[in-house]
Amino acid sequence: MAKTVAEKILSAKSKQDVHAGEIVEAAVDYVMVNDITGPAAFDEFEGLCAPILRDKVVLIPDHYVPNKDVASAKQAKKMRDFARRHKVKHYFEVGTGGVCHQLMIEQGFVAPGRLIVGADSHTCSYGALGAFATGIGSTEAATVFARGALWFKVPESMRFAVSGKLGKHVSGKDIILKIIGDIGVEGARYASMEVVGDTITSLPLADRITISNMGIEAGAKACIIPPDKKVDQYLNGRVKGRYKEVLADPDAHYADFREYDGSEIVPLVAKPYLPSNVAPASEVGVQIDQAYLGSCTNGRIEDLRIAARIMKGKKVKPGVRMIVVPATKEVFDRAMKEGLLKIFSDAGAFVSGPTCGACLGGYMGVLAPGERCVSSTNRNFVGRMGDKASEVYLASPAVVAASAVKGRIADPSEVTR
């Protein structure tokens, strides 16, 4: 019987012939936790009194980096102590790592056909390289620390085909916002999204990661893009171990199939308070107090280049704060070498080292009551980046940069041709 990518990977990892709806126990390639989800996992693991499968475990402090207070310092120390006590080799100290999902990809943990879990909902980002990746809880993570396996319900799959040439300033962020705006925040609940088409194959890997990253905002269990030569080229000299690509069978069954014309997609914005509340950037026009560029969604070097091209020689509008956060040390170093950080600094933006702080409203960029932020992140729920009376508008790096210059949410074509 023909299978989807999700069915094939879970069949391989469980060593069974499985299909949607079945419950399986499958071998996990890697499990990742961060400084927020890790401490609870450590407590649960110690209670198991089991040896750790240290080669599978990845520990990444990133949410409160650097520590913002005593409480976050204690969390970070707990992770550091755990890594030392159990000799976990995949631990990335502050100054050597960055935002967990980008780092997992950069460091070669992610590859086609792999099954990866992480105690963070945006673990689905790794589907951009053809992996089945999903978020789990801290207790489940502790189980994987000890057993290297976890149970899964094999999800139904949904197929989204995007064809046609994208217009100028249109990116992967706009594609996924278009899809979420279409199906809603529960439209893919517990499904595996497969995003395909010539528009997708033309995208750089950075944009594909953005698409997979936001699959969870539609409720998806995983969001997978078929791997190709671009993935192989990226992983060459980077990937840990061997891998084998997994592709869906041509006659696989899908619970839903939707087609989109890429040439009709425009720069989009998700207005408060849902990622599905989508409108063209040219029609939003609200005044902003802050513009944020970064996160696991859009903090890659390609994202910074796009924003820098728009902002070069321009200034952030007086009365607007702009915060730029490269996702990892590798991204930061490349941006510095290419002069991108200087462009942002000259424009009046604040540039930070890698951290998740502002994205989750933890610190550094927290919004006051009544303030509005246009952000390249993935969530705009009530109080996501600060006070409950603040507002977050989700957009691409191009829209964020253009809006910072104009002082209001703007289509990039208003700033540059």
Give pLDDT tens digits for 369-384: 999 999 999 999 999 9
Torsion of CA 254, 151, 98, 196, to 10 degrees: -10
CA atoms of 265 and 119, how far apart (whole Å): 33
Confidence of residue 72 (pLDDT cuts 50, 70, 90): very high
Cβ count near 364 (within 10 Å):
17
* Calpha distance 56→257 (Å, rounded): 35
> Does the fold of domain 268-414 match that of domain 5-259?
yes
pLDDT (tens digit, 9 = 90+) per residue, 324-360?
999 999 999 999 999 999 999 999 999 999 999 999 9
pLDDT at 263 over 90: yes
Distance of CA 125 to the CA centre of its chain: 5
pLDDT of residue 277: 98
User: Does residue 417 surpass a pLDDT of 80?
Assistant: no
Q: What is the pLDDT of residue 23?
A: 98
Q: How many CA atoms lie within 13 A of 308 on its CB side?
A: 23
Q: Which fold has domain 268-414?
A: Aconitase; domain 3 (3.30.499)
The answer to whether 266 and 281 are in contact (CB under 8 A) is yes
One-letter amino acid at 416 equals T
The answer, yes or no, to whether residue 137 has pLDDT greater than 90, is yes
Put simply, whether the predicted model's pTM sits higher than 0.85 gets the answer yes
What is the pLDDT at residue 1?
Answer: 84
The answer as to CATH 3.30.499.10 being correct for domain 5-259 is: yes
Residue 134: pLDDT above 80? yes
Contacts of residue 356, Cβ cutoff 8 Å, sequence gap at least 6: 34, 62, 63, 64, 65, 99, 100, 295, 296, 362
Residue 186, pLDDT > 90, answer yes
287 touches 312 (CB < 8 A): no
CA angle 6, 9, 13 (to 5 degrees): 135
Q: Which residues contact 409 (CB under 8 A, 6 or more apart)?
A: 269, 281, 284, 285, 286, 288, 374, 393, 395, 399, 403
- With bands split at pLDDT 50, 70 and 90, how would you rate the model's confidence at 145? very high
Predicted local confidence at residue 416, as pLDDT: 87
Rounded to 10 degrees, what is the CA torsion of 328, 330, 335, 337? 150
The two three-digit tokens of residue 269, written as one number: 């914005």
Q: CA 365 to CA 350: how far, in whole Å? A: 10
Confidence label for 24 from pLDDT (cuts 50, 70 and 90):
very high
pLDDT at 220 over 80: yes
**Residue 164 binned pLDDT confidence (cut-offs 50, 70, 90):** very high
Is the bond preceding 273 in cis, omega lying within 30 degrees of 0? yes
Residue for token pair 């945006």: 122
Helix count (H) and strand count (E) of the chain?
14, 17
Whether residue 230 has pLDDT greater than 90 = yes
Mean pLDDT calculated for residue range 14-29: 97
What pLDDT score was predicted for residue 64?
96
Whole-number pLDDT of residue 400: 98
| Percentages (nearest 5) of helix, strand, coil residues in the chain | 35, 20, 45
How do the domains of the chain map onto residue ranges?
5-259, 268-414
Residue 149 has which token pair?
């396996």
Arithmetic mean of pLDDT over the chain: 97
Beta carbons of 38 and 78 less than 8 angstroms apart: yes
Strand partners, 325: 294
- Determine the pLDDT at residue 46: 95
Nearest CA to 162 out of 192, 198, 130 is that of 198
Complete DSSP assignment for 210-231? HHHHGGGGGT-SEEE----HHH
Q: What secondary structure letter does DSSP report for 328? A: B
Closest by CA position to 245, among listed 259, 231, 263, 266: 231
- Scan for tokens 């424009």, then name that residue: 347
